Amino acid sequence: MSVPVVRTVAELRYAVAAWRAERLQVALVPTMGALHEGHLSLVRAALSRAERVIVTIFVNPKQFNSPADLAAYPRTEETDAAMLAGAGAHLLYAPLAGEIYPEGFSTTVSVASVSEEMEGRFRPGHFDGVATVVAKLFLQSGADCAFFGEKDFQQLQVVRRMARDLDIPVEIVACPTIRERNGLAMSSRNARLSPQEHARAPRLSEVLFEAAAKMASGADAQPVLAQARRALEDAGFGPVEYLELRSSASLAPLTRASEPARLLAAAWLGQVRLIDNVEVAENDP
């Protein structure tokens, strides 16, 4: 059994209109393809909340800072479609670039504040690309709810703020990070790690969980972050672009876990940039 594939907004809306006529709830799972278990967990979560699930695959050129990185991004639609059929998705929306950004396209959605630091600092313009394409996908599909992984936690907060500020009537559902058995957060980029790098990569999550435990016990953030950065560098990561304690709600920087918080990091291992984050339990003084 295969999953139906549509490539135009008109085809997508026609399918959704038929579901609406049956009063069915519609969920959306936006992706850039190269699917793995983390993506499939989003599909399963969506199936638990809605009668119909749309998965989108669109390698968004506006999210890439480097043309070479865009060209190298894996495109595995046939394999992805088979995985989605097995997971129970009802429709794959895989538009071409011209369908999303037709000739003369000149609108950009920019979300201030939550997008400007961490990923925003090291990938300028990235979140403008995310917000623009996700806003379009929400409006094209008219979905009731959309599912995003917490692995890209800053992206999740950008999408939440964008939908809220623009009054787009879609519920944003966050799903836990899915990890490999060794603790490494699942990512399409993991396939680019050498066997030796893949063996070292779980140290990123180990260091984050160790630091989060110390902060949850009341430790000040700065000495813990400095120690964690040294641990990553000693494990062969570098450069460590950021390693920060932030408010889970606003992404404002914190000096200690005095409210629900996240520890977020981005670091290079060889030629692969890895990101991860872990929850930090609130410490009551």
- Catalytic amino acids? 39
Q: Nearest 5°: CA angle at 167, between 155 and 91?
A: 65
Query: Which residue is listed with tokens 């570098």?
Result: 238
Question: How many angstroms separate the Cα of 206 from the Cα of each of 10, 201, 276?
Answer: 46, 9, 11
Please tell me the number of Cα atoms within 13 Å of 245 on its side-chain side: 27
Q: How many other C-beta atoms can be found within 10 angstroms of the C-beta atom of residue 30?
A: 24
3-state helix/strand/coil string of the chain: CCCCEECCHHHHHHHHHHHHHCCCCEEEEEECCCCCHHHHHHHHHHHCCCCEEEEEECCCHHHCCCHHHHHHCCCCHHHHHHHHHHHCCCEEECCCHHHHCCCCCCCCCCCCCCCCCCHHHHCCCHHHHHHHHHHHHHHHHCCCEEEEEHHHHHHHHHHHHHHHHCCCCCEEEEECCCECCCCCECCHHHHHCCHHHHHHCCHHHHHHHHHHHHHHCCCCHHHHHHHHHHHHHHCCCCCEEEEEEEECCCCCECCCCCCCEEEEEEEEECCEEEEEEEEECCCCC
